[in-house]
Amino acid sequence: MEGEIDHRATRRDFRAGTLARADLDADPWVQMQRWLEEAERAGNFDPTAMALATADGGGFPNVRYVLLKHFDARGVCWYTDSRSQKGQELAANGRAALAFYWPELDRQLRLQGEVSLLPESDAERYFRQRPVGSRLAAAASEQSREILDRAHLEARVAELAARYPDGDVPRNPAWRGYRLAPQRFEFWQGRSSRLHDRFVYTHNEEGWRITRLMP
């Protein structure tokens, strides 16, 4: 199969804003919170969606979207089934990257760092906060494993719903939380004629160092 995209029809210029060194907070976490809030105010329907890139033991990369659930100065956190492809890859290679994209503001945020498992208590606490349907789905699914068909999956959910009519379905121990501790942040602001503004935070003994990159 061959395909072609008309680049003239899809090309657009970036004119949403600018980014100067003076605009940046010295703390990348403060800057990240600021951009998340501005993305939400700009009308982004899912500002916490982030692309998670992992690699298997052989170095082959994979990427998918997950949702940011909380963060602090220790790192960025999400929850998933540790038996999934990403869970297995993180067990084999504990380094990963994340990327946010907010098209309403022509902004990207990229992070790189080491990933670790959150305590079981964190996973339990967050699992209990999820809607019942989400808890049933997580308990019924062994994420990334092959299944015969949709009906088989729905039957597993129905069986669990009948077993726990009060909605108090237990968390599978494989459903865990992860934290990426960034060693590098990049704040990217699209600019006209592709002369984008890019600033990188890297950590050293004195704190965070900010440098500008060419586009």
Q: Is position 196 annotated in a ligand binding site?
A: yes
Q: Which of 11, 12, 150, 194 is labelled catalytic? A: 194
- State yes or no: 88 annotated in a binding site: no
Cα within 13 Å of Cα(129), Cβ side: 8
The annotation status of 108 as a binding-site residue, yes or no, is yes
Q: Are residues 175 and 142 in contact, defined by beta-carbon separation less than 8 angstroms? A: no
- Give φ, ψ of 196 to 5 degrees: -70, 155
Contact 175, 82 (CB under 8 A): yes
* Residue 101 labelled as part of a binding site: no
143 annotated among ligand-binding-site residues: yes
> Does 86 carry a binding-site annotation?
yes
Was 79 annotated as part of a binding site?
A: yes
Per DSSP, helices labelled H in 56-119 are 85-92
Is residue 31 a known part of a binding site?
A: no
The response to whether 67 counts as a known ligand-binding position is yes
Q: Annotated catalytic, 194?
A: yes
Q: Is 198 annotated as a binding residue?
A: yes
With the C-alpha atoms ordered 84, 85, 91, 94, is the resulting torsion angle positive or negative?
A: negative
Q: What burial letters (b/e) apply to 135-156, b meaning 16+ CB within 10 Å?
A: bbbbbbbebeeeeeeeeeeeeb
Which residue in this structure is represented by tokens 């994209």?
Answer: 101
User: Would you give the DSSP letter of residue 33?
Assistant: H
Residue 201 labelled as part of a binding site = no
* Residue 118: both structure tokens together: 């959150």
Which pairing describes strands 70-72 and 61-67: parallel, antiparallel, or unpaired? Answer: unpaired
Q: Is 102 assigned to a binding site?
A: no
Q: Please give the Cα distance from 1 to 7 (Å, whole number).
A: 19
Binding residues: 64-69, 79-80, 86, 108, 126, 130, 134, 143-144, 188, 194-196, 198
Q: Kindly list the catalytic residues.
A: 194
Binding residues for FMN: 64-69, 79-80, 86, 108, 143-144, 188, 198
Binding residues for substrate: 69, 126, 130, 134, 194-196
